[in-house]
Amino acid sequence: MISRRTAILATLATPTLAQNWAPDRPLRFIVPFAPGGATDVVARVLAEPLGARLGQTVAVENRTGAGGNVGVEAVVRAAPDGLTILMGTTGTLTINPHLYANMGFNPLTDLAPIGLAFGTDHVLIVNPSVPANTAAEFLALARAQPGRLSYGSGGNGSSTHTVVELFKLVAGLDIQHVPYRGSAPALNDTVAGNVQLMLDQIASALPQIQAGRVRALAVTGARRHPALPDVPTVAEIGLAAAEATSWGAVMAPAATPAPALARLNAVLRESLELPMVRQRLTGVGADALASTPEELAGYLRAETEKWGRVVREARITVN
């Protein structure tokens, strides 16, 4: 697992490659979701320092549709010249291939890894009416009442759906899924008690936790989150295999030359080390991550296998 909250400063195997490529035109930075979401915000935070280091403008372009597949395919079909890059995500790169039978491309083979960019943990929250003050009490309650509890998600195949299904598989729980059109209404109904629980991203759940409208029982990251230091990790409650992080990674078309990939990775890692960038990412509930292209390639394979198992065993489909 690639470490969280600390950029990986490993030296590129061929550092001279990064010095032999420079873009001669502005870059397109494709975000496969609408403006305003975490993925879009992170891309816009990074665009300025990336452009400053490359000597060219990096323009963020939102290409939405089909759960992010439209934007990803736009990068797959782009010229492999280093001038078109993608902010891919857990869903678009490693979950969607298991959900969509006719995508027309394979993220593992039709895209080239540049580097990780950010990650966000999830937190298990319950409505205060749920008679469980700890994760252990919650697990006992859920196991004693199979099928009685329900959780909200942002929709079939969303991270707030798949992360819970992983949690259910590892913990051996029977909890009913109630999909919403977005995570915000699912969170609202968790607060209202119309559903009993949610595994929401920490950034969006934190205000409700701090206001006492929901109770936080566990976080899905590898270590406790600074914003919730008293909340244990899933490993600490005996469910280490339920560890899950929603993340974003920068990708390029598959045949992009190695010097371009090396240079893009170098400027991405430099940008992620900037205090201003780290502060702005923290402000939207994200943690700066970094990797080499080789590390990212291995991570993508592991995540694809992991979420494929969840999709199959939980029988997740998209409508």
Judge whether 15-120+245-314 and 121-242 match in fold.
Answer: yes
What percent of the chain stands above pLDDT 90?
74
Domain ranges of the chain: 15-120+245-314, 121-242
281: left (phi over 0), alpha (psi -120 to 50) or beta: alpha
**Is pLDDT at 265 greater than 90 in this prediction?**
yes
pTM higher than 0.95 for the full model? no
Q: Which residue has the tokens 């991570």?
A: 299
Which of 27-36, 251-260, 266-275 is the least confident region? Answer: 27-36
**Is pLDDT at 267 greater than 60 in this prediction?**
yes
pLDDT value for 9: 40
**pLDDT tens-place string over residues 61-81:** 999 888 889 999 999 999 999
Q: 15-120+245-314: what fold? A: D-Maltodextrin-Binding Protein; domain 2 (3.40.190)
What percent of the chain stands above pLDDT 70?
94
pLDDT value for 84: 98
pLDDT value for 234: 98
Mean residue pLDDT of the chain comes to 91
**pLDDT tens-place string over residues 232-262:** 999 999 999 999 988 999 999 999 999 999 9
pLDDT value for 50: 98
Burial of 216 (0-12, 13-18, 19+ CB in 10 A): buried
Superfamily of 121-242 according to CATH:
Periplasmic binding protein-like II (3.40.190.10)
Which of 48-62, 179-193, 243-257 is the least confident region? Answer: 179-193
**Is pLDDT at 19 greater than 70 in this prediction?**
no
